[in-house]
Amino acid sequence: MSAIEVSAPDVESAIAQGLQQLHLIRAEVKIEVLDEGSRGVLGIGARPARVRLTPFAELEIRQPPQTIEPPPPPTEIQQSSPPVVESAAPVVEKSADAISASGLMHSHEAAEASAPKIEGEDLALTLVRDILWHMGLKRCQVAAHSIFPPNSDEEPSIWVDVTLSNNHDADLLLGHQREGLNALQTVVQTMWSHRTRSSLRVNVDVNGYRRRREQQLINMAKRLAEKVVAHGRPITLEPMPANERRIVHMALRDQPGVFTESFGEGASRKVQIKPKK
């Protein structure tokens, strides 16, 4: 995500427009006022204000977090009909030389085969693939895997990764404040929970957006927590959806010297980072 320049009648309007375009909050960007603009005299000689917004996490966004394991090889959707999830693993013939030279590969494959799997993972995969197929997004790859957090206080979840190589298809889900992705997430979660009678979370991601956003929020929360400790004053973040507020809370729950609280109603609900007394 590169820096952008925005023009508007005044500086605050330009900043607000830029934050909306970047889908970020003030704490996540460096703001440079290039021109404060002028109202002119009776409108004569007026010029707009110009600002440049540079995301602090620009380099982090370009690279996936190193601590997150890559998902298993994705399965490509067939164009002719909705794909069917097979429960049996495919049988691959190997020569004697290949078998003798692949001891490490065999141990790795065995570990993957024995990895724990949430019941309903295949259902989540099928739901996402079928919905995308009916949307006409047939040239994509979809993969699912189960996540078991090391902390016993957190519930396991299912993560479904969607890869869209076509920019137009990706814009359908990631454009305009990610409304398409959020709608897909809601539909899949509702259908999956209804079918399985389970309250576990199914996370749907497109082109790695949620992973990058999660890491970005974690890094931002820790930077702001350091400022709270250094200055002894609370910092209030801009309104966030519930899933992003949860990321901030979880990122700082064991952070020394600070604690977090949410306040507000509906879409205006915010997270505040406070110093511990």
pLDDT (tens digit per residue) in 167-204: 888 888 988 778 889 899 999 999 999 999 998 999 99
Structure-model confidence comparison of residues 20 and 143, the more confident one: 143
Q: Are residues 80 and 196 in the same domain?
A: yes
pTM of the full structure: 0.54
Tell whether 69 is covered by a domain. no
**Interacting residues of 199 by C-beta distance below 8 A, sequence separation 6+:** 193
**Which pLDDT does position 226 carry in this prediction?**
94
**Which pLDDT does position 72 carry in this prediction?**
53
Q: Are residues 140 and 192 in the same domain?
A: yes
Q: Are residues 118 and 56 in the same domain?
A: no
* Mean pLDDT in residue range 239-249: 88
Which stretch of 95-104, 202-211, 256-265 has the lowest confidence by average pLDDT?
95-104
- Closest of 24, 84, 81 to residue 54, by C-alpha: 24
CATH code of 230's domain: 3.30.1370.50
The residue segments making up the domain with residue 161 are 75-87+112-207
The two structure tokens encoding residue 200: 């576990």
Q: Find the Cα–Cα–Cα–Cα dihedral 243, 191, 145, 80, rounded to 10°.
A: -130
**Which pLDDT does position 85 carry in this prediction?**
41
Q: Are residues 200 and 245 in the same domain?
A: no
Which stretch of 88-102, 127-141, 260-274 has the lowest confidence by average pLDDT?
88-102
Query: Is the per-residue pLDDT at 108 higher than 50?
Result: no
**Which pLDDT does position 14 carry in this prediction?**
86
The CA distances from residue 129 to 72, 161, 172, 183, in Å, are 16, 10, 16, 15
Query: Is the per-residue pLDDT at 251 higher than 50?
Result: yes
pLDDT band at 233; cut points 50, 70, 90: very high
Looking at every residue in the chain, the average pLDDT score rounds to 79
Q: Are residues 55 and 126 in the same domain?
A: no
Tell whether 68 is covered by a domain. no
Q: Are residues 80 and 175 in the same domain?
A: yes
**pLDDT tens string 6-64:** 898 888 888 888 888 887 777 777 888 888 888 766 667 778 889 888 876 554 444 44
User: How many domains is the chain built from?
Assistant: 3
Q: Are residues 200 and 255 in the same domain?
A: no
Tell whether 99 is covered by a domain. no
One-letter amino acid of 21 = Q
pLDDT band at 115; cut points 50, 70, 90: low
* Mean pLDDT in residue range 137-157: 85
Q: Are residues 195 and 116 in the same domain?
A: yes
The two structure tokens encoding residue 228: 């709270």
Tell whether 100 is covered by a domain. no
Query: Is the per-residue pLDDT at 101 higher than 50?
Result: no
Tell whether 20 is covered by a domain. yes
Structure-model confidence comparison of residues 177 and 268, the more confident one: 268
Q: Are residues 117 and 52 in the same domain?
A: no
Q: Are residues 178 and 245 in the same domain?
A: no
CATH code of 126's domain: 3.30.300.20
**Which pLDDT does position 63 carry in this prediction?**
45
Q: Are residues 203 and 217 in the same domain?
A: no
pLDDT band at 112; cut points 50, 70, 90: very low
Tell whether 135 is covered by a domain. yes
Using DSSP, how many helices (H) and how many strands (E) does the chain show?
8, 10
183 in helix, strand or coil?
Answer: helix
**Distance of alpha carbon 161 from alpha carbon 209, whole angstroms:** 10
